[in-house]
């Protein structure tokens, strides 16, 4: 069921509602092969590609920060283990 009250005019609202209904049915029956499904896949692929580029560009910086944090954590553990109880 699709409800549409985008405009003041009944005929335009019905036309928009029919279009939305066909898009929903297309997505329901065709899944990833529908227009909306392909659009979603394209957006997901674009986001994935952006994440990969970001990791490639900034990956070295975050790795160095992780190593630094890890070394600080081990130093804290060593200091705590040396403390008498």
Chunked mean pLDDT (size 10), the chain, 85 residues: 90 94 90 87 93 84 61 60 51
Task: Give residues with Cβ within 8 angstroms of 41, minimum separation 6.
Answer: 32
- Work out how many domains the chain is built from and give that number: 2
Within a domain: 19 = yes
Instruction: Note the pLDDT of residue 36.
Output: 86
Within a domain: 40 = no
Range of 3's domain?
1-33
User: pTM to 2 decimals?
Assistant: 0.49
Same domain, 1 and 28: yes
Within a domain: 39 = no
Within a domain: 63 = yes
Within a domain: 11 = yes
Same domain, 50 and 75: yes
Instruction: Note the pLDDT of residue 12.
Output: 95
User: Which structure tokens are listed for 37?
Assistant: 């499904």
Instruction: Note the pLDDT of residue 85.
Output: 47
How many residues in total does the chain contain? 85
């Amino acid at each position: 069921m699709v409800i549409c009250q985008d405009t003041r005019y009944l005929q335009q609202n019905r036309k928009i509602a029919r279009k939305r209904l066909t898009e929903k049915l297309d997505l329901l029956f065709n899944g990833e092969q529908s227009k909306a499904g392909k659009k979603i896949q394209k957006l997901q692929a674009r986001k994935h590609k952006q994440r990969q580029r970001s990791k490639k560009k900034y990956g070295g910086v975050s790795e160095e920060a992780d190593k630094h944090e890890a070394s600080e954590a081990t130093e804290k553990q060593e200091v705590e283990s040396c403390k008498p109880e």
